[in-house]
Structure 1
Amino acid sequence: MAKKRLIVAITGATGAIYGIRTLEALRDSEGVETHLVMSRWAEKTISLETPYQPEQVMKMADYCYDVEDVGARIASGSFPVSGMVIVPCSMKTVAAVAHGYTDNLVARAADVILKERRRLILVARETPLNEIHLENLLKLTRAGAIIVPPVPAFYNRPQTIDDLVMHLVSRILDLLEIPNNYTRRWGELVEIKSEQGL
């Protein structure tokens, strides 16, 4: 059976760990092939925010591409992929994709995903959001993208920061139709509380 090809892009918004954990989860998923592209600011943010270096993150993917290489195979609709996730996604990248400004491989690959009507997930990271941000996000939603802000969930009783991160990663994998057990589901929590008499 052919592997499921997925593009993972990491941009310079804070929250680089979301991208790293997503890559790790996809690496550990059966039948998945990952194609990674990182912006220059993503590389800096990874070094600033996490114990990882960009070179270590690159090794988590099956294939890596230079962000300036707009001639890479993931920049063509003739290269079949199942979907793409930009995690985290800066507002600069949101603006570029929303307006078709494909000046680097992240924006170009996302543009191709939209034109081919494939699944595009943007983990858009900014707060507060101004009118321009909101209009760009709405434009992308109308174009078929799925906006997944990294909003923490507390119904699963997280104990660590990684619990919060992995809950979001689990939601991303759900949207990519990748089976996973990285977080406890709502129904499971209700059953546990019922068993405990809570």
Structure 2
Amino acid sequence: MAEPSTLRRIIVGISGASGAVYGARLLQVLQGQSGIETHLVVSDAGWRNLQHELDMDRPAVEALAHRVHDVANVGAAIASGSFQCHAMVVAPCSMRTLAAIAHGLADNLLTRAADVALKERRRLVLMVRESPLHLTHLRNMVAVTEMGGIVCPPLPAFYLRPQTVGEVVDYSVARVLDLIDVPHDLAPRWVGLELNAL
């Protein structure tokens, strides 16, 4: 019998919503962390957005992860509950991917891996990207939350007074790192205002 992995395995899914930078930046940060092994799965639309929004080709993205899985390969290791995994993050998460996860439609490797995270009671974080939201979007978020997932839209923290787009992105990635218990110094933390500053 194989020995349990001593690495903390984190699955990163990148779907076709706008905001591919969140997935790419998360991979970059995790790449620099010791004791973490990243497994990447990208939807077809996700690959298109990585190219369109970031000018990143497939080899450049794949180089950020320890292991890369084809979205059509539902027989991959990460499709099984026996695969030991610390957490999964979908960054960004499209409304189509959200709907599939909310309704247990494990029709590709990304949604299957998320389904496994939920059934095994593992941490699942969805960086949902859409605006405005209609009722079905909201109900799908409620459904995922009721199953134990975390809906974490990437939103800017203007109280930290970001100066660049990179700082805005890093704040949202930092919030995800907190949610999956990965230590970091990616973004400043709020220390409060003095009463006389109000």
Which TM bucket (shorter chain)?
A: over 0.9
SS of residue in 1 equivalent to 2:106: coil
Whole-Å separation in 2 of the counterparts to 1:33 and 1:158:
30
1:164-179 alignment runs, 5 A limit: 164-179=168-183
Deviation at 1:3, TM superposition (A): 1.3
Q: What per-residue deviation string (whole Å, max 9, x for no partner) do you get for residues 20-77 of structure 1?
A: 0000011111211000000000000011101322221111000000000000000000
Moved over 6 A (4+): none
Pick from 126, 131, 135 the counterpart of residue 131 of structure 1: 135
TM-score (norm 2): 0.94
* Percent identical residues: 47
Whole-Å separation in 2 of the counterparts to 1:144 and 1:98:
11
SS of residue in 2 equivalent to 1:127: coil
Whole-Å separation in 2 of the counterparts to 1:60 and 1:164:
21
Count the aligned residue pairs. Answer: 192
Whole-Å separation in 2 of the counterparts to 1:45 and 1:134:
24
Q: What per-residue deviation string (whole Å, max 9, x for no partner) do you get for residues 147-178 of structure 1?
A: 00011111111000000000001001111100
Question: What are the ranges of 5 or more consecutive residues in structure 2 without an aligned counterpart?
Answer: none
Pick from 76, 83, 87 the counterpart of residue 80 of structure 2: 76
CA RMSD of aligned residues (A): 1.2
Whole-Å separation in 2 of the counterparts to 1:10 and 1:89:
7
Whole-Å separation in 2 of the counterparts to 1:179 and 1:44:
31
Whole-Å separation in 2 of the counterparts to 1:151 and 1:18:
11
Pick from 46, 51, 75 the counterpart of residue 50 of structure 2: 46
